[in-house]
A and B are shown apart, each in its own frame.
Chain A
Amino acid sequence: MMTATTHLTPSGAAQFTVLVTRGIRTSCRVPQLLMFSLTMPLAMLVLFSQVFRSVAQNPSFPQNVSYIDFVTPAMLAVSTVMAGTNAGVAAAVDHTTGLSERFAALPMATWIPNAARTLTEAAFTFARVAILGIGAVALGFEFHGNPVDLVAAVTVLVVLAAAMSALFGVIGDRLRRPDVVQFAGMMIMMPFMFVSSAFAPLETMPPWMGTVADVNPVSHATDAVRAHVLGHGSASTTTIALIVAVLWGIGALLLSARSSRT
């Protein structure tokens, strides 16, 4: 039985598929995590839509737009940061169990585990968007776009979720402790959430915030998704949102390939 099968030639694509399958399987087996990570954005939507509704009275707020229609796209975009935190925690857990060490000693490119977590969380984004969408409708949300708008909006969200997962995967690899990654996630989520057009129009904020928001992928995604939701989506806003998200994702994966090389 111990016959040597030395010349194994594992393919990167097969390894990637194995790890994506593992990620989905593992996530499904922690129902608590799945439940909280899927429903927390919904709880936030309920809160924000009630607490900040007076923003709609501000003169610079878009005319004839209800606050729930304005804020739902923002919550959708923000919920992708939660997808990211999940990926970061998953990376940190692999360090505490010693699985990362085992992966590192296998003939597998260093970026594959992080890339697989990225795709896993991108996949769960569909579930998150669906739950949030149903909840929003219950709160009075209306989708004013057409089916193309819907596809475009979901695409932006999935790509952003992937970028955030790649980013947090690197953070998880660096910090190596799930509890610390959770807190880091909160810290990073704040500027992504608030230094953006998510909850109030950028025109109502100090100019420096607008500058920061220019590189904030959550802000661009919010703009794009909001435009599709309100029925005036444009190819250019969507393309910019996708490009900014992809750049963040590529940057993170490059960082993970670099940092894990000893």
Chain B
Amino acid sequence: MTAIVIDDVTVTFGDIVALDSVSLEVEPGAIVGVLGHNGAGKTTLVRVAATLQRPQLGRVLVAGVDAAVDPFTVRRTIGLTGQYAGLDEYLTAQENLEMIGRILGLGRAARHRAVDLLDRFELGAVANRRVGTLSGGTRRRVDLAASLIGSPTVLFLDEPTTGLDPAARIGFWDVVRELASTGTAVVLTTQYLQEADQLAGEIIVIDHGRIVATGTPAQLKSLVGGKVVRATVPTALARAFPAAVDAEATVRGEFTTWHVPVPDATTAASFVSSITASGAGVTDLEIVSPSLDDVFLHLANTGVPA
């Protein structure tokens, strides 16, 4: 059975359309990345799927259960990690997990399960420390552990790695992959294309509440190219720049910055030598992995439909 079906959901807050006819399906064991800027509608999408927000139009099924009809049953099968660690700062990590386990009806088994999860997240050493005294990254991991105490079949992660250092982020990704490998369906929102690329089998890009692109990470990346060369040249010499078909130029007074998507690093390297050969007189040069901005820039310029 499909783990999550979001069917043509629209959410409005007054005049603001937070979600506009959004549809999405997630199979058990799949990780779907929801990519978008701040205010794009990512959190609203998660809140709708997690029964926290009722849509004006459309419907949400979690494990076949309609979230509007029976939110209670849906809440038994989901885990949610929001943008703020939903923990009591004056309780220890273990007490927080036990509390949530008991609310979920685990009874005495909650303690055992809390200890298990904390060990698994390498949090055994801080199990008896108050959450308020933990670092941001550690708190995030406790929060994720807390989301898993009821063994959810569907897990929502709303920008879970915001504020984490790179090592903690990679550790977090490993845990998410492992969960998916055991059959948990994961919906992950992020502002980072790289994160969605690392984890998700499918990515949806949302902007102003609408899905503007869907596809595998490879498809999205091929849309914008494997690398982006950003070269700044004097505007007077810009005509000499060896621009490819889908290059974008931004003129800022006497300097012009070119964004040139290329398929891979090798092409990027040879492209850089062709700039030097062209005599365009490069004043600044960067070769970067495509960012969310590059995806949006590309979609805005080419108008590729979802």
Q: In the complex, which residues of chain A have a beta carbon less than 8 angstroms from the beta carbon of B116?
A: 1
Given the interface contacts A14-B105, A22-B99, does A102 sit within 8 Å of B76 by beta carbon? no
A1-38 interface with B by 8 A CB criterion: 1-11, 14-15, 18-19, 22, 25-26, 29-30
Q: Beta-carbon contacts of B151-195 to A below 8 Å, as 1s and 0s?
A: 101000000000000000000000000010011100000000000
Nearest-CB distance from B219 to chain A (Å)? 30
A106 touching B146 by the CB < 8 A rule? no
Q: Beta-carbon contacts of B60-97 to A below 8 Å, as 1s and 0s?
A: 00000000000011011110101111111111000100
Report which of A5, A14, A29, A105 forms a contact with B130, defined as CB distance below 8 A: A29
Question: How many A-B pairs fall under 8 Å by CB?
Answer: 106
B24-79 interface with A by 8 A CB criterion: 50-54, 72-73, 75-78
Chief secondary structure at chain A's binding surface: loop
Report which of B73, B85, B104 forms a contact with A97, defined as CB distance below 8 A: B85
B153 touching A4 by the CB < 8 A rule? yes
Give the complex CA separation of A173 and B47 in angstroms: 18
Give the complex CA separation of A96 and B75 in angstroms: 22
Q: Does A203 contact B (CB under 8 A)?
A: no
Q: Does B287 contact A (CB under 8 A)?
A: no
Q: In the complex, which residues of chain A have a beta carbon less than 8 angstroms from the beta carbon of B183?
A: 2, 4
Give the complex CA separation of A158 and B150 in angstroms: 36
* Total interface residues in chain A, CB < 8 Å: 35
A107 touching B88 by the CB < 8 A rule? no
Q: Closest residue of chain B to A5, judged by CB?
A: B151
Q: Closest residue of chain B to A18, judged by CB?
A: B102
Q: Closest residue of chain A to B119, judged by CB?
A: A1
A6 touching B103 by the CB < 8 A rule? no
Nearest-CB distance from A176 to chain B (Å)? 12
Give the complex CA separation of A98 and B162 in angstroms: 15
Give the complex CA separation of A18 and B95 in angstroms: 11
Q: In the complex, which residues of chain B have a beta carbon less than 8 angstroms from the beta carbon of A101?
A: 52, 80, 82, 84, 86
Nearest-CB distance from A57 to chain B (Å)? 48
Q: Closest residue of chain B to A17, judged by CB?
A: B102
A97 touching B88 by the CB < 8 A rule? yes
Given the interface contacts A1-B120, A25-B95, A97-B87, does A105 sit within 8 Å of B103 by beta carbon? no
Given the interface contacts A8-B106, A25-B91, does A102 sit within 8 Å of B100 by beta carbon? yes
B184 touching A2 by the CB < 8 A rule? yes
Interface residues of B (CB under 8 A from A): 50-54, 72-73, 75-78, 80, 82-91, 95, 99-100, 102-107, 116, 120, 130, 146, 150-151, 153, 179, 182-184
Interface residues of A (CB under 8 A from B): 1-11, 14-15, 18-19, 22, 25-26, 29-30, 94, 96-108, 262
